[in-house]
Structure 1
Amino acid sequence: MTLISTNDIDIEKAKTSKITAVDFNNLAFGRVFTDHMFVCDFKDGKWQKPQIMPYQSMTIEPSARVFHYGQAVFEGMKAYKDESGNVFLFRPDQNFERINKSSARMAIPEFPKDYFFNGLKTLLKLDSEWIKPGVGSSLYLRPFVIATEPAISASPANEYRFMIICSPAKAYYSEPVRVLFAEKFSRSADGGVGFAKAAGNYGAQFYPTSLAQKKGFQQIIWTDANTHEYLEEAGTMNIFFRIGDKLITAPNNDRILDGVTRKSVIQLAEDLGIDWEVRRVSVKEIKDAAKNGSLKEIFGAGTAAVISPVSAFEHADEVYEIAEVEDSYAMLFKSTLLNIQHNLSEDKHGWRYEVK
């Protein structure tokens, strides 16, 4: 291995690459990782000099606070490559702002902007061959922070580790999903950490989602914790409803993640002249619309899946099938977003960030 010292990042290159052993046509999401990873530790009250090193296991003490008090936040991003070999990120400024917003809520020190972007760019240049061109192909990026200080004391840690790991990806959901409307379990509550990408938010979803899967549904659309009367999020995605020709999504609050794809879909709706509205959406409204035929589409929006159509939902033991429509908003938004991300169409809002 070669150790390269730079002014900004210490880089240790992998001696050999694992890429030749990877079947890029048959990728299980989040199971294969690139040759390198970014690491930066916080200690003595400041972030230390960042490092890039070969992807590897790491040693951490069993008393590390992340294991006991759950101080952990993360982000989800993607890198894309066009047919000319140029590499792009999609609205990375939003991910940077959000991971620091999540960190602040979990009493984790905010990460410096120059470390974040220099780390991303350097890592992507090293592992550029892992980013395959073509719509549907991408490199999923997982920045995250964990509390590493060895102390089982119920207070914020004094030591943390910020990391970025990368995983080549194809389409996350290839088929429409069937969902349950939550009637008992909640994803988050008022005054909590639902708006943050805190690791525990997702761990708490696994049990109720497993119950839904046993009934033949892939995901849950979460309802408000107080009354379970209003629809808020779909699994790990923001949720959109199309009633007639109007697009509707729930407003952001401290229970709902401020999704980058969600914001992009709303802007695209404005660009495309689609009538849209941000407001509370009740379970009753959607059930009534399904019964009278005005419910045309439900779809989730998120980084991993981009857009994921819903083909059916269940509530109070009643199942409602959603027929495919020819003028699908979901497919229109998905193709429009993918074309922007892969440098195949105009980027009028400056969302593409070229990695040079």
Structure 2
Amino acid sequence: MAVFGTVFMPQMALATFVNDEWTDTEFVSADSIQLHPGAHVLHYSSTCFEGLKAFKHEDGNINIFRMDKNIERFAQSSRLLNLPEIDKAQVEKMIIDIVAKYASEVPEPPGSMYIRPTHIGTEASIGKAAAPSASSMLYVLLSPVGDYFAGGLKPLRLLLDETGMRCAPHMGMVKSGGNYASALPPILKARSEVQADQILFCPNGDVQETGAANFLLIDGDEIITKGLDSSFLHGVTRATILQIAEDHGMKVSERDITVEELLERSAKPNTEAALSGTAAVLTPVGTFIHNDKEYQVGNGEAGPVTMKLRQALNDIQWGKAEDTHNWLVKVPN
């Protein structure tokens, strides 16, 4: 099986913003784009993207999960980067049309078609360090993917970092490549020094997010996660899991949580921790590493509540459970 996210469909949907308007959508080859070497994105990181999935149901229909929520966040990221305002209706049609074009390539569950809308500043100007790009390009790539954890769901090891942040606080809500780049050096350091899978960024003891996912603590029938603010990414999977937890009668607490409270609660036998994201869905955490000491979360294994919530989400995505919140959009045949 190919590495997650390395196989692409031959074509993508593409539109450009020039002369203050969006061009009509085209289907073009997905193996390259034409870009001036002085393009704004290459020098001043005017780039944002989304990640969502389309699923094949048993009746053969293809359904896209929570597209409206992802497009809303895509528009927000574009605004916060001062990229040209996207046309949400056009983006929705781009996504549906390109998925429809490759409907026969959508894998059976647990596989899916990963959808990557991307928006970049294209104006050729290296003098615009303090000004936005007047032109841009928006394209939608497709990548058929298998299970992100094909080798089995192994509980993760997280290093709790109280000194750094994933990204600049005012950039937290933007799904931009620069945020992932800024988190990479400490993550690689943590992997080599303490064999951590990820860093849980906890600036000044405030538990936030990891380099690529939101963090959730489960204590019995309560699910606890940091309340939304501008310092971290508002995950679509996070919002979905919280709604499913509520549907299952769990108490949802969106509030600040300290490292001290996190370690205290994790010592209890029925405590669980997990990371949520489009690719990882809901992934169990088995160990925290803090000040050179290891702390087992609960019994150190994938917890029953984590697995129940993960399965409940998958069942809706795969068409095995009722979609009571209208999260799925059926792709026309």
Q: Give the shorter-chain TM-score range.
A: over 0.9
Match of 1:9 in 2: none
Match of 1:200 in 2: 178
| Matching residue within 325, 332, 335 for 2:311 | 335
Distance 1:327 1:152 in 2: 51
1:128 aligns with 2:103: yes
Please state how far the C-alpha of 1:114 moved relative to its aligned partner: 2.1
Deviation string 1:165-221 (CA, Å, 9 cap, x unpaired) is 01111222342211101132211344x111110211111111111011112111011
Q: Specify the alignment match of 2:209 in structure 1.
A: 233
Please give the per-residue CA displacement for 1:38-74, whole angstroms capped at 9, x wherever unaligned: 1111110111111112322122121111111110000
Alignment partners' CA distance in 1, 2:318 and 2:265: 36
CA distance in 1 between counterparts of 2:265 and 2:96 reads: 47
Inter-partner Cα distance in structure 1 for 2:91 and 2:125: 27
1:159 equivalent among 135, 145, 165: 135
Alignment of 1:1-356 (within 5 A): 26-134=1-109, 136-153=110-127, 154=129, 155-173=131-149, 174-190=153-169, 192-214=170-192, 215-224=194-203, 227=204, 229-291=205-267, 293=268, 296-322=271-297, 323-324=299-300, 328-356=304-332
Contact map agreement 1:243 1:294 (CA 8 A) in 2:
no
Q: Is the 8 A contact 2:158 2:285 kept in 1?
A: yes
Contact 1:64 / 1:150 at 8 angstroms: preserved in 2? yes
CA contact (8 A) 1:35 1:127 kept: no
Partner AA of 1:138 in structure 2: S
Residues 6-34 of structure 1, C-alpha deviations (whole Å, 9 max, x = no match) = xxxxxxxxxxxxxxxxxxxx131111101
Alpha-carbon distance in structure 1 between the residues aligned to 2:320 and 2:266? 36
* Secondary structure of the structure 1 residue equivalent to 2:32: coil
- Provide Cα deviations, 1:246-300, integer angstroms capped at 9, x if missing partner: 2111111111111111111111111101122111111001112234x25611101
- What are the ranges of 5 or more consecutive residues in structure 2 without an aligned counterpart? none
Alignment check: 8 A CA contact 2:284 2:301 kept: no
Q: Deviations over 1:102-142 (max 9, x none)?
A: 110000112112211111111011111220122x1101111
Amino acid corresponding to residue 307 of structure 2 in structure 1 = M
Letter in 2 for 1:70: S
Residue type at the aligned position of 1:98: R
Indicate conservation of the 8 Å contact 1:35/1:54, yes or no: yes
Residues 151 and 327 of structure 1: CA distance in aligned 2, closer, same or farther (over 3 Å): closer
CA distance in 1, matches of 2:163, 2:202: 9
Q: 2:141 is paired with a residue of what secondary structure? A: strand
User: Any conservation in 1 of the 2:49–2:116 contact (CA below 8 Å)?
Assistant: yes
Return the letter of the residue paired with 2:252. W
Q: Displacement, 1:235?
A: 2.3
* Residues 62 and 330 in structure 2, CA contact (< 8 A), matched pair in contact too: yes
Deviation at 1:151, TM superposition (A): 0.8
Q: In the aligned structure 2, how far is the partner of 1:167 from the partner of 1:141?
A: 7
Find the aligned partners of 2:139 and 2:33 in 1 and give their Cα distance.
Answer: 12
Residue pair 2:57, 2:319 contacting (<8 A) in 1 also: yes
Q: Is the 8 A contact 1:36 1:54 kept in 2?
A: yes
SS at match of 1:281: coil
Measured in 2, the distance between the counterparts of 1:345 and 1:59 equals 44
Code of the aligned partner of 1:198: S
Return the letter of the residue paired with 1:86. Answer: N
CA deviation string 1:286-323 (max 9, x = no partner): 112234x2561110111111101111110111111222
Distance 1:124 1:326, change over 3 A: closer
Q: Which residues of structure 1 form unaligned runs of 5+? A: 1-25
